[in-house]
């Protein structure tokens, strides 16, 4: 007589589903913990800045993004440092992968307002205003990428204009380098200079494409309770900005920038010199020099709050603070 057959085991039929359930539960708990760490860091950073005299505020905050992201949405955020620089927006969205919470991408879908202590408020609107931010341990400065498309930059009540009023594209990059240095690069595409600005005189009021690539030294010294104190500390430590490459294109005209080094003087103005190449710039050098002379190459010198092209004073040196 044959013994009855045992029913087949269904363990391996259900095991994958059980394992998936355990993994999903484990990841859910991990995501909750990662979310809480992000919230705690945001609150701790805000508390630390407030203790140093900054203003950090928002009307409401939500943190989501489950299962694989962290998504922070701040309504009516505003951050202001003690010397008067501030940034405000109707909404800021910040996003990171949950498994890589040190790298964030921030969006300003409704534009933002930059307020300067000397220049007043500027409203910035456009498409895809975003910033990527990574700050790894051991780096003196973060890796930063700020980009915007179809930008308009409009002064608000009491504000003074920036050198450009709009741009098809603006990009600003900061990258840490070995040896206590950092790379700073500014790119403009289709920028419209405001009348009378230095860029307008160089370009004969035509739209401008610009690339400006520099290296900053002593970046670990860029620290303090506000922007002016950070720059003073950096400058007193010997901090300088070395030009790597510069180029301004306006129609068929091109101005090249060669070697140069700048810093910040005790009054907060840029100081130093940059060599400019006008050999393919049409009448740009004549326009800058008031029609008195045409130059193929000349030093642009920033000293005592003034800008000189060769012996000619052509404007005021920009103020960093």
pLDDT one-digit tens code per residue, 106-133: 999 999 999 999 999 999 999 989 999 9
Predicted local distance difference test score (pLDDT) of residue 2: 57
Alpha-carbon torsion angle 50, 56, 62, 65, nearest 10: -90
Q: If pLDDT is split at 50, 70 and 90, which confidence band does 140 have?
A: confident
Dihedral angle sign, alpha carbons of residues 283, 288, 293, 294: negative
**Phi, psi for 144 (deg, rounded to 5):** -130, 135
Predicted local distance difference test score (pLDDT) of residue 84: 95
C-alpha span between 68 and 268 (Å, rounded) = 45
Is there a contact between 279 and 252 (Cβ–Cβ < 8 Å)? no
The structure's pTM equals: 0.89
Of the listed ranges 32-36, 147-151, 246-250, 258-262, the one predicted with least confidence: 258-262
Q: If pLDDT is split at 50, 70 and 90, which confidence band does 5 have?
A: low
Is there a contact between 151 and 162 (Cβ–Cβ < 8 Å)? no
């Amino acid at each position: 007589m044959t013994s009855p057959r045992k029913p087949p085991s269904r363990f391996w039929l259900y095991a994958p589903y059980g394992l998936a359930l355990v993994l999903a539960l484990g990841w859910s708990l991990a995501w909750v913990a990662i979310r809480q760490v992000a919230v705690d860091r945001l609150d701790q950073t805000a508390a630390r800045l407030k203790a140093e005299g900054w203003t950090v505020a928002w009307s409401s905050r939500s943190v989501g993004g489950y299962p694989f992201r962290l998504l922070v949405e701040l309504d009516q955020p505003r951050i202001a440092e003690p010397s008067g620089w501030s940034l405000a927006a109707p909404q800021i969205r910040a996003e990171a992968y949950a498994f890589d919470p040190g790298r964030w991408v921030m969006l300003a879908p409704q534009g933002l307002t930059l307020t300067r202590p000397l220049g007043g408020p500027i409203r910035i609107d456009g498409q895809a205003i975003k910033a990527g931010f990574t700050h790894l341990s051991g780096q003196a400065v973060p890796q930063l990428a700020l980009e915007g498309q179809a930008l308009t930059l409009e002064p608000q009540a009491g504000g003074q204009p920036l050198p450009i009023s709009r741009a098809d594209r603006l990009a600003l990059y900061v990258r840490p380098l070995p040896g206590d240095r950092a790379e700073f690069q500014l790119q403009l595409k289709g920028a419209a200079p405001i009348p009378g600005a230095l860029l307008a005189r160089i370009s004969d009021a035509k739209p401008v494409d610009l690339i400006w690539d520099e290296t900053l030294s002593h970046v670990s010294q860029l620290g303090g309770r506000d922007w002016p104190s950070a720059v003073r500390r950096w400058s007193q430590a010997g901090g300088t900005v070395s030009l790597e490459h510069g180029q301004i294109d306006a129609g068929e005209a091109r101005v090249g920038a060669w070697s140069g080094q700048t810093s910040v003087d005790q009054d907060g103005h840029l100081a130093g010199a940059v060599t400019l190449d006008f050999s393919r710039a049409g009448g740009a050098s004549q326009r800058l020099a008031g029609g008195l002379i045409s130059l193929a190459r000349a030093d642009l010198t920033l000293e005592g709050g003034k800008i000189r092209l060769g012996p000619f004073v052509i404007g005021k040196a920009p103020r960093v603070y």
